[in-house]
């Protein structure tokens, strides 16, 4: 019989929380056990507390569940807690949960830069789970730990970069331009008057996140085994824009290798062959291919490619020589699946497979 793990969801009424619910309904390992939201929602049935904005209906078992406050005491019998909390409250709540010896997978940005907290993209750097024993020791925990996943745009970017770095050595320079979907801003999020017949060339804090997170994810654990050591010789320049697309972030990337540059054909070959640990471990949500390569001249496109591999793959196309750096290409990531809740859940599956929970 399959292992069953009890799951709690923090921020369950938000857009990320709704995605957690859809991903976890009918999950072979995880069973939704507790839902947490703001005090305004606590005590209500989920269906009355939420403004459900998904095209699939609320799973029946979740609809009538009573929403709890986000306090650790209410979630103490959960084997794992997923956090879709907003950054303004995630810091305190997640730390309280960690201190209560709970396992927390967070989508919030608050602890991503913490030297002892893994920042894991599940198809890229699950080796970073190796720091968990030290994190537990540091916080004097027996079973709890905290893992974060990356910003949605960073997540899409690092998947092909990891494949290329593994094959051709370090990248010295990365330029990335994003065209991000409105769902990335939550609900109500982007006012329609701002985005219909328009593009907004700015997303607060996003460029800084991308420029920093890449280095930690593609980097290693320090030699002393007690902290992460982000890359120091890889420079990232990001420009982030918002476009009138519902789901799916498109990114135009140009890179320079520290060593000799590969050819376009070599890049395609490496991308096509890429596999990751989540696949090897046979995780439920692991995509069959972590990178889907397209050679159609006008692909990937958000509407046509975002649901490939149930949103857990990154689609890469338009690989070509860059006259300024070495190689340029276009990628697409489903921002609310692999780019958010899908990363957290797949990370947790990997943790189960590794015996961490």
> What residues contact residue 1 under an 8 Å CB cut-off, 6+ apart?
none
User: Strand, helix or coil at 6?
Assistant: strand
Interaction residues for a copy of itself, span 206-235 (CB under 8 A)? 211, 235
Could you tell me which stretch among 103-111, 178-186, 264-272, 344-352 binds a copy of itself (CB under 8 A)?
178-186
Q: Is the dihedral of CA 114, 118, 120, 124 positive or negative?
A: positive
Catalytic residue flag (residue 249): yes
Q: 327, 331, 351, 297: which is closest to 167 by C-alpha?
A: 327
Interacting residue with a copy of itself among 42, 71, 89, 195 (CB under 8 A): 195
103 within 8 A of 79, measured Cβ to Cβ: yes
Minimum CB distance to a copy of itself, residue 252 (Å): 5
Minimum CB distance to a copy of itself, residue 181 (Å): 9
Interacting residue with a copy of itself among 38, 69, 241, 266 (CB under 8 A): 241
The number of residues that bind a copy of itself (CB under 8 A) is 62
54 binds a copy of itself (CB under 8 A): yes
338 within 8 A of 19, measured Cβ to Cβ: no
205 binds a copy of itself (CB under 8 A): no
Interaction residues for a copy of itself, span 74-133 (CB under 8 A)? none
Given the residues 70, 249, 283, 334, select the one marked as catalytic. Answer: 249
Residue 7 or residue 313: which is nearer to a copy of itself going by CB? 313
**Bridge partner residues of 9 (DSSP):** 35, 82
Residue 113 or residue 318: which is nearer to a copy of itself going by CB? 318
Interacting residue with a copy of itself among 226, 284, 310, 318 (CB under 8 A): 318
Q: Which two tokens stand for residue 131?
A: 């720091």
193 binds a copy of itself (CB under 8 A): yes
- Cis check for the bond before 149: say yes or no (omega within 30 of 0): no
351 within 8 A of 128, measured Cβ to Cβ: no
Going by their DSSP bridges, the two strands 314-321 and 327-333 should be labelled as antiparallel
Interacting residue with a copy of itself among 68, 112, 306, 334 (CB under 8 A): 306
Minimum CB distance to a copy of itself, residue 262 (Å): 17
Residue 283: its H or E element: none
Minimum CB distance to a copy of itself, residue 221 (Å): 25
Residue 266 or residue 301: which is nearer to a copy of itself going by CB? 301
Minimum CB distance to a copy of itself, residue 92 (Å): 28
Q: Residue 91, class by beta-carbon neighbours within 10 Å (0-12 exposed, 13-18 middle, 19+ buried)?
A: middle
Interacting residue with a copy of itself among 174, 290, 337, 352 (CB under 8 A): 174
Residue 323 or residue 355: which is nearer to a copy of itself going by CB? 323
Interacting residue with a copy of itself among 110, 125, 154, 254 (CB under 8 A): 254
Catalytic residue flag (residue 177): no
146 within 8 A of 94, measured Cβ to Cβ: yes
Q: 95, 35, 98, 104: which is closest to 64 by C-alpha?
A: 35
183 within 8 A of 336, measured Cβ to Cβ: yes
Given the residues 152, 240, 276, 283, select the one marked as catalytic. Answer: 152
Minimum CB distance to a copy of itself, residue 161 (Å): 14
Residue 56 or residue 259: which is nearer to a copy of itself going by CB? 56
Q: List strands edge to edge, sheet with 68-69.
A: 68-69, 30-37, 5-10, 80-83, 103-106, 145-148
Residue 332: its H or E element: strand 327-333
Q: List, by residue number, the catalytic residues.
A: 152, 249
Binding site for a copy of itself (CB under 8 A): 53-57, 173-175, 177, 179, 182-183, 187-202, 204, 211, 235-237, 239, 241, 243-246, 250, 252, 254, 297-308, 317-318, 322-325, 328, 330
């Amino acid at each position: 019989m399959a292992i069953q793990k009890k799951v709690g969801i923090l921020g369950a009424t938000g857009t990320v929380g709704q995605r957690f619910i859809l991903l976890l309904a009918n999950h072979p390992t995880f069973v939704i056990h507790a839902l947490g939201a703001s005090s305004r929602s606590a005590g209500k049935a989920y269906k009355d507390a939420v403004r459900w904005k998904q095209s699939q209906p609320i799973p029946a078992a979740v609809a009538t569940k009573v929403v709890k406050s986000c306090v650790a005491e209410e979630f103490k019998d959960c084997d794992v807690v997923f956090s879709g909390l907003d950054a303004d409250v995630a810091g305190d709540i997640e730390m309280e949960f960690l201190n209560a010896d709970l396992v927390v997978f967070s989508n919030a940005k608050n602890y991503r830069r913490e030297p002892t907290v893994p920042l894991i993209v599940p198809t890229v750097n699950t080796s970073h789970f190796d720091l968990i024993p030290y994190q537990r020791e540091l916080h004097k925990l027996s079973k709890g730990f905290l893992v974060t996943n990356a910003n949605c745009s960073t997540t899409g970017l690092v998947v092909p970069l990891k494949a290329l770095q593994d094959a051709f050595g370090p990248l010295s320079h990365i330029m990335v331009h994003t065209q991000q979907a409105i769902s990335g801003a939550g609900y109500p999020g982007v006012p329609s008057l701002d985005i219909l017949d328009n593009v907004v060339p700015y997303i607060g804090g996003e460029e800084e996140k991308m420029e920093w997170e890449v280095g930690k994810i593609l980097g290693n654990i320090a030699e002393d085994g007690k902290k992460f050591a982000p890359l120091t010789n890889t420079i990232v320049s990001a420009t982030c824009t918002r476009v009138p697309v519902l789901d799916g972030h498109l990114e135009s990337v140009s890179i320079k290798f520290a060593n000799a540059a590969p050819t376009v054909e070599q890049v395609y070959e490496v991308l096509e062959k890429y596999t990751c640990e989540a696949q090897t471990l046979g995780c439920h949500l692991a995509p069959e291919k972590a990178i889907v390569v397209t050679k159609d001249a006008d692909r990937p496109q958000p509407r046509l490619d975002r649901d490939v591999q149930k949103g857990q793959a990154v689609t890469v196309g338009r690989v070509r020589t860059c006259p300024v750096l070495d190689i340029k290409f276009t990628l697409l990531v489903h921002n609310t699946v692999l780019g958010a809740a899908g990363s957290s859940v797949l990370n947790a599956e990997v943790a189960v497979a590794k015996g961490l929970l």
